[in-house]
Amino acid sequence: YGQFLAKQSHTLEELRSCSSPIYQLELMMVGRLFAQSPELYSDIMLAQFDNVEPLLAQYQDTFASTLAKLKASDKAALIDSFADAKAYFSDSTAHFLTQSRSLLNKANDAKVLD
Return the domain boundaries, the chain: 38-73
Please check whether residue 17 is in contact with residue 114, taking contact to mean a CB–CB distance below 8 angstroms: yes
For Cα atoms 79, 24, 81, give the angle at the middle one, nearest 5 degrees: 10
Handedness of CA 66, 38, 20, 15 (dihedral sign): negative
What is the structure's pLDDT at 113? 73
Percent of the chain surpassing pLDDT 70: 99
Burial class (CB in 10 A: 0-12, 13-18, 19+), 107: middle
Mean pLDDT of 31-55: 92
Mean pLDDT of 4-25: 90
Please tell me the distance from the alpha carbon of residue 101 to that of residue 95, in angstroms, as a whole number: 10
pLDDT > 90? residue 1: no
